[in-house]
Structure 1
Amino acid sequence: MNNKEKVLEIIKRLDSRYPNVKTALNFNTALDLLVATILSAQTTDVNVNRVTENLFKKYRTARDYANVSIEELENDIKSINFYKNKAKYIKNLAKELIEKFNGEVPKKMDELVTLPGVGRKTANIVLWNAFGINEGVAVDTHVKRISKLLGLTKNTDPDKIEQDLMEITPREYWGKLSHLLIMLGREICKAKAPQHKICPLNDICPSSGI
């Protein structure tokens, strides 16, 4: 089985286990998701959802974020790791959205990654979950680790891993693949204690015997 065949089998099996997979971050709008994804760096989605439950009621537009004082925004997200830096990203991002995109979240990768605090991972998450657009594969720590364990890549750099996965995966599955691997990483293929015996990919994973 080559890697193109393997990735299709992986998607088939994981899609059966995790139907209708999507981001675990709660959101109503593309702006909500963009903010939530920035907040999610180096913290849990559960913690982010706890904070954004009230945050998204208070801030509904890019102008709301742009006009609030940095101190007030920091206070609203202070339970999040690195909240001071993230508050700066969000305020600057909001100003850029107003100045360059009429306050709307752009639907193009090359435009999204010009925004403060937004890299390809964040852009991919927003594009697929908010707009249904497949521009790439969001590579987080789970995707990075599991794609290597499965033998789908030998790289360690997220951008190179993304390119490897895009080359072997049909475009319509790019967004879904990321979230399927994330679900597997959270439930079964945990970094410290992978549960090989109950893993649905056991027989096609080179690391299953380790």
Structure 2
Amino acid sequence: MLHSSGFIVVEGLEGAGKSTVIDAIRDFLSKKGQVVVCTREPGGTPMAEAIRECVKHPWAEEEVTQETELLLMYAARSQLVQNVIKPALASNYYVVGDRHDLSSLAYQGGGRRVELTKLHQLRQLTLGDFVPDFTLYLDIDPSLGLERARGRGELDRIEMAGLDFFKRARQVYINTIRSMPNAIQIDASQSVGEVKKDVLSALDNWYQNRSL
């Protein structure tokens, strides 16, 4: 029996292997007969992709303020949720997201040290009570993650934020995941095979429990 729909989010620092995990999740769900829509943040709609370019561009000629970065993230997220994610869920599809709201809590709240009240206000304005059904957090030491990211090519503006930025972001991730229902932490420093094994085990357990 097919489940109605579900919003699954994969979170993690740079170099954690989110793309590989998302491919594995999509294959798992497709084999179950589910229709799967994959998204990324920021991005996922024409306007949100344009915002993504603004966020990641170095902007050497001017400083990008913390508030500007935060507002851009939520503007892109609002476009994606309203125009892609919610319609897909309403059509009984599964949505697998490369990042969602937890990324802003970690990156802008932890990394940039933006006041949590500002984050919560923006979240309430743009998302209300909309939350993922299941979150997989791929945990990795920032040094290893950035080393992997550099191996992919030139770093973007966010990736160049510095090691301390990512250490703060990681701590927020770890602290928050512990208190979230339907959230699992996976050791992303393992081999690709071991990470996929752990992810699919957690995903299968969550998926089977949905039908009980």
TM-score normalized by structure 1?
0.31
TM-score normalized by structure 2?
0.30
Query: Larger C-alpha radius of gyration, 1 or 2?
Result: 1
Between 1 and 2, higher relative CO (CA 8 Å, sep ≥ 6) is seen in 2
Higher helix share goes to which structure?
A: 1
